[in-house]
Every structure is written in structure tokens, then in C-alpha cells.
Structure 1
Amino acid sequence: MIARLSPKAKTASLASALALAMVGLGFAAVPLYDLFCRVTGFGGTTQRYDPVAAAADPVVLSRTVSVRFDANVSPGLPWKFYPEHPTDTVSIGARDMAIFIAENNSSKPVVGTAGFNVTPTQAGKYFTKIQCFCFTEQRLEPGQQMRMPVLFFVDPKIMDDPDARDIQEITLSYTFHPVDEGKKAS
């Protein structure tokens, strides 16, 4: 025989199931949002070059685009951080390299990590980074200065996108944040 639940018990069971589902979605939200941004370029999220997935190197076009480099440091990070050259003109599809310079102005070692984005946001899915200091934490000793390269290209598929093909300037922006080494996951 199947026991029937009272209306209060049904409501409580439904509320409990809904609460568990909300907790599950809360834990899944960050990785799902990250995946969404990487696939679509949403919010200026750049693509990361995968040589295994790439059928061939991109075709280099005669069309060029200006790339502006922006460097920022969050409060609490005693670093000076700037691009070696603030702008560069690159051929669409051609690999290029930009150098950023970071200097620790404190009297102790400091670890930082860089967040990044690309504007205009519709260019994000076509701006592909081959190698970037933003993929790893950076440790600078007191007074140490480090040159950090970024290898990138603008995917020729940008020319097929009516919302992006007329873009004349792309800005690659980085912000370094301090990493609390005592709170890092092991």
C-alpha cells in the first residue's frame, strides 16, 4: 500500500527538493558561466589556442587591426605594471607578441595573478591567446622586475561576423590581483 502524504508533507518535500536543487545550481553556476563565456566570447572572454584542435594555422589577411594594451593593478598589490608598447597594429590571422612589465615595489615577495578581458566584447571570441602570463600565478621578489610575453592572434573568422568585422581597435586589458598564499588550495 502506498502511503499518502499530507499537503503539509508534500509542501515540505517539494521545498526541500527545491532547496537542494538551488544549492546544486549554486555550485555549478561558476563553471557553467566560465564555459559559456569561453565558448561565446561573452564579456570579452578571449579564446585559448589549442594546437591539437586547430586544423592549421590561421590564414593571414591583409586587413589590420589596432590592438591597445591596458595594464592595471588592484589595490593592495604593491606592483607597477604596464605594457612595453601601449598599442600595436597587427594583421588579422598573424601571430603577434606583446610584452608587459611588472615590478614588485615592496620589501617582500608578492604573488599575483592576472584577470583579463577584451573590448569591444564582440571581439573576445576572435582574440586568441597562444601563451599568456595570465594562465599562471606570478611571484616577484622584492624589487624584481619581470618581462611577461603574451602571444596572440586575431582569428580571421572575425571577418565573417557582421557584428565584429568592422572593428578597428581591440583592447586587451589585464588587472593583477594579489594572491593570499596562506589561503591557496593545496
Structure 2
Amino acid sequence: MSDHIYEHSNPRNARTVFVLLIILGCMIGLVSASVPLYRLFCAVTGYGGTTQRVESEDATPVLDRKMTILFNADTNPALPWGFKPVQRSVTVNIGEDALIFYHAVNNSDETVTGHAIFNVTPFKAGPYFNKIECFCFTEQTLKPGEEVDMPVTFFIDPELAEDEHLNEVKEITLSYTFFRSDEEQ
């Protein structure tokens, strides 16, 4: 009886099922690649307040225009850390290197690894916020009760002064959220 079913199956139905399976496979592939692709897009374009990462600063001119940088820190509830900026703000000239610190403490009785994600607001300032060194470039591991001050070295690209959409911007907020590392969850 089962041979009887296959004798009457339509080749168009088999092709339709095959095409639908290929489409479903492509959709699953796009969904699984969407987060890394979105992060890459944000890193390249500065979209969503993503800052730019630079290896070194090549004689960036320092402008007379000042910018106040505010610092924010959040911790995901799954990470048993205290996390805060050491200073709430700093005022720098555009193009000037700045070094600031965030403080973290592991409040648990186990060694915990975390990673930080970041953004800049207003979002349109993201492409001009350049980080030279940042704790967010790598995962951080703290032993029970361990405390650490983590550095961020950055500068505001002088090209910001040429962007007429940013003339009214006097403050930029650099915000971090720390999460427990995926390997630990």
C-alpha cells in the first residue's frame, strides 16, 4: 500500500516541499546570524550609539570645543557584581585623550566572568566616540570579593565639529551594562 502512495505523488509537490525546506533553512540561518551581523553593522557605522574602536591615535588635533562625557553603569541581575563609574563625568576638548575608570566588585562566593556591552547617547555621536583601550574589549574574571578598577581610554573625533547635526550636542553619555559570560550560564 505504501508503494501505491508514492506512485501517485506529484513531482510538483515534491519540488514545492524541497523549495520550502530550503527557504526554511535560509530563514533559520539568517536568524542565527542576525546578532553577529547586527553587531558588525553597528561597529562599522556607529548605528545605535556603538562607539568606534581604534588601535592608536594618529596625531588627532585637539579643538577648542569642550564636550562633557557622562558615565553610566548597569549590571544584569544574573551577574552578582557591583559595577559603577569611578567618576560621573569628565569634560574634555574634542580630540583630547581621556582616561577614566569603572569600578567592579564580585559580591559572590565564586569566581565569575562577565562581559560588558556599551553604547553612546545621543546615538548620532557614536561614530565620533573612539575608544583606544577598554575593559569591554575582553571578558573580565573576578574572584570572590575581588575589586578592580577598569580603564577606558577614549577621545572624541574632531570630525564631530564638522557635523552640523551635532552642533547642539554638549554632552555624550557612555553607558555600559555588564552581563555574566555565556560560557558560565
TM bracket, shorter-chain basis:
0.7 to 0.9
**SS across alignment from 1:85:** coil
Match of 1:41 in 2: 46
Higher helix fraction (1 or 2): 2
Contact 2:113 2:184 in 1 (8 A): no
Match of 1:29 in 2: 34
Match of 1:83 in 2: 85
Structure 2: distance between partners of 1:66 and 1:123: 12
Deviation at 1:83, TM superposition (A): 1.1
Structure 1: distance between partners of 2:31 and 2:182: 24
Aligned residues: 176
CA deviation string 1:96-146 (max 9, x = no partner): 011111112222222211111111111111101100001111111222110
Identity across matched positions, percent: 47
* Counterpart amino acid of residue 16 in structure 1: L
* Counterpart amino acid of residue 44 in structure 1: G
Q: 1:177 to 1:28 in 2, by over 3 A?
A: closer
TM-score by length of 1: 0.86
Structure 1: distance between partners of 2:182 and 2:16: 44
The Cα RMSD (Å) is 1.8
* Counterpart amino acid of residue 49 in structure 1: V
* Counterpart amino acid of residue 144 in structure 1: E
Deviation at 1:15, TM superposition (A): 1.5
Match of 1:62 in 2: 64
Match of 1:97 in 2: 99
Deviation at 1:30, TM superposition (A): 2.2
Structure 2: distance between partners of 1:29 and 1:13: 24
Match of 1:20 in 2: 25
TM-score by length of 2: 0.86
CA deviation string 1:58-94 (max 9, x = no partner): 2110101100000111113222211111000011011
**SS across alignment from 2:100:** strand
Match of 2:144 in 1: 142
Deviation at 1:25, TM superposition (A): 2.0
* Counterpart amino acid of residue 118 in structure 2: F
